[in-house]
Amino acid sequence: MKVSPYFKRPEFACKCGCGFDTVDTVLLEALEAIRGHFESAVVITSGCRCIAHNAAIGGSEKSQHLKGRAADIQVKMVEPERIANYAEDLGMSVGRYSTFTHIDSRSGTPVTWGQN
Tell which CATH architecture fits domain 9-107.
2-Layer Sandwich (3.30)
The answer to whether 12 and 22 are in contact (CB under 8 A) is yes
The answer to whether 49 and 102 are in contact (CB under 8 A) is no
Buried b (16+ CB within 10 A) or exposed e, 77-88: ebebeebbebbb
pLDDT in tens, the chain (116 residues): 888 999 999 999 999 999 999 999 999 999 999 999 999 999 999 999 999 999 999 999 999 999 999 999 999 999 999 999 999 999 999 999 999 999 999 988 888 988 75
Instruction: Report how far residue 5's alpha carbon sits from residue 19's, in angstroms, rounded to the nearest whole number.
Output: 22
